[in-house]
Structure 1
Amino acid sequence: MLVLLLFLVSCGARGDISIYDYTVINSYPHNTRYFTQGLFMHDGFLYEGTGQYGESALRKLNLDDGEVLQQKALGRRYFGEGITVAGDRIYQLTWRENMVFVHDLETFDTLDSHYLATEGWGLAWNGEHLIISDGSDRLFFYDPDGFQEVRSVAVTFQGRPVRYLNELEYIRGEVWANIWTSNEIVRIDPQSGEVQSVIDLSGLRELADAQSSDAVLNGIAWDAERERLLVTGKLWAKIFEIELHERP
């Protein structure tokens, strides 16, 4: 696996790419049983999709205290993955079951389901298309009406494929993606697939009191109303509000 930041630092080939460090602005409680697979903010509330067979669920949470305001469990045969909101619907991926569930935003009632030929990892919404990652170096763009693939793009850094794209968020014209098992988030041009910059979140896992080897960074939520960036990980005890600053 190509770990971008380590590669950049070791070979000195940063080129025009920017590297960002972070400052923790605030932290919020997070249930250490939640195997975080998808995260987004909407109308002041946090929505989280979690994985693991028999434990996968969709939840609406109060960010400040972690209170569960609403939840829906998936069937025991499903391993939940990325989630996103598009209009009045929440889309939720499954890992290897080739299913995408469509839930009502208000009631969490399941309205529809779609077949997905690939594995499901991360999911985001750019206002027109659903953007899906499957753990490879590609992003797939789907029309939510009828759930048809519109296009896909290979994600690269200086011509090299960037694999293990995981949880996604669409922020100000860029696709942000966790790189599975790393401490990095990459910011991707959705048209070309080129990595524009890298966020180094080294040290955050330790602040989250992560105990398990499975407790890796995974979870990006952008609160557009308050312009807050939130990140967390699988089985972490905290969700962090962070501020980014470019490394000299």
Structure 2
Amino acid sequence: MAAFFRSSVNKVAVQPSFSQFQQDEQAFYEALRANDQQAWDYLMIQVHNQFVVPQSRQNYDYDTLISAYTEGLAVVKDNILSGRFTHEKAKVTTYAHSVCRFTLLNLYDKDKRRQEVSPFQEQSADESEESSSAVRDEAVDWLLQTDIEDHSWALEPLKLAMSGLKDRCQTILRLFYIDEVPDREAAIQLNINEANLRQQRRNCVMGLRQSFNQLKNSYL
């Protein structure tokens, strides 16, 4: 199924009228459940515009990005056609974006350094740690978006994972991921320097991800 979406990537630039799907979420979901090709074309376009286009401007390997897009949509299609996902849980486009984003983070976590670091280029320990922490920050960035309510499956384990962190960690993560306070301003608020702030944030991210991964299986 992923191969089908991959072969269709170049078609998403063509955008016919999808007004019926834009105006009626129920009709859109039912059309997807009926395996209506126009409905799937509309979803592909929406996810392409909301996921592929913005992420392509970031430092992601394009092939990995397209793999996440196609594999994520294949998962979405399987879950919709099987009835495992219903639109009452979240908007279809929001759900599809989340699945693709989560797929990207998993692929990125496994492949990013192998694909982008040349075997002929020396990398310092600091650079290696920075690359690894960027992956962890990306994952938590996805988890802590302000529209987390749309990710109904993730909300409860995320709340529990956050509540298990020390108050200092909760403050650091909320300043960066939710309030989007710049590092310089956050460091002043916390009375530490920026380097110390980034190190503490990396440690907090590691703790949050470990706790979330332990809890999430109970809610999937």
TM-score (norm 1): 0.21
Computing the radius of gyration from Cα coordinates, the structure with the larger value is 2
Q: Select the structure that is richer in strand.
A: 1
